Chain A
Amino acid sequence: MDLIVYYASWALLSCGAFLCAVGGLGILRLPDFYSRQHAAGITDTLGSAFVLIGLMLQSGFSLNAAKLVMILIFLILTSPVATHAIAQAARQSGLEPKVVAEEDEA
């Protein structure tokens, strides 16, 4: 049983680190502010959740797990609000999304 929890925690931590790295690559390489925001959303939700749940499995049923749950709840509550606020401020300040014109097939 301990071995299963150990390997599950290992897999979750690895998945979280991988998703964080993918989001970092996206925020560096994507061409537009709004698409970069999409890349940042990956790391804010799924990457953080995987890493924190992996640490929870590692710490067992203790006060540390309660603290990790609180961190996860705060992240899930505040990160969409911050993302929405940034997108709304950018849109209202006149930043237009970059749109590629579709090729005319006629």
Chain B
Amino acid sequence: MFIAAMIGVLITMLMALVRALSGPTVFDRILAVNMFGTKTVLFIAVLGFLSGRPEFLDLALVYVLINFIGTIAILKFVRFGKVETA
């Protein structure tokens, strides 16, 4: 059961990675990387239950926050050419 969910998430990550590598515009790449990060969270959570160590959920919790901050930071960098506030 966990294996099935894991295979679905892995296939999705693979397709998002292909789009991130071949995206025509930079926003396609950002969108695909954001989706890849969300799927990584699901992957870590399912992996923790699969291997019987649900403590992996802490890592997933941290990864949610890092993924969001990273996406916003990259968008700001693409838009303004710098990350720090004026």
Contact = CB atoms under 8 A, between A and B. Distances in A.
14 contacts: A17-B6, A18-B8, A27-B16, A33-B31, A36-B28, A40-B32, A40-B34, A43-B12, A55-B45, A71-B45, A71-B64, A81-B72, A82-B34, A85-B71
B11 A24 contact: yes
A27 B31 contact: yes
Contacts, number: 138
Interface of B: 1-2, 4-9, 11-16, 18-19, 25, 27-28, 30-32, 34-35, 38-39, 41-42, 45-46, 49, 54, 57-58, 60-61, 64-65, 67-68, 71-72, 75, 78-79
B19 A27 contact: yes
A25 B15 contact: yes
A40 B35 contact: yes
A95 B30 CA distance: 14
A86 B61 contact: no
A37 B29 CA distance: 11
B17 to A, nearest CB: 10
A52 B19 contact: no
A95 B5 contact: no
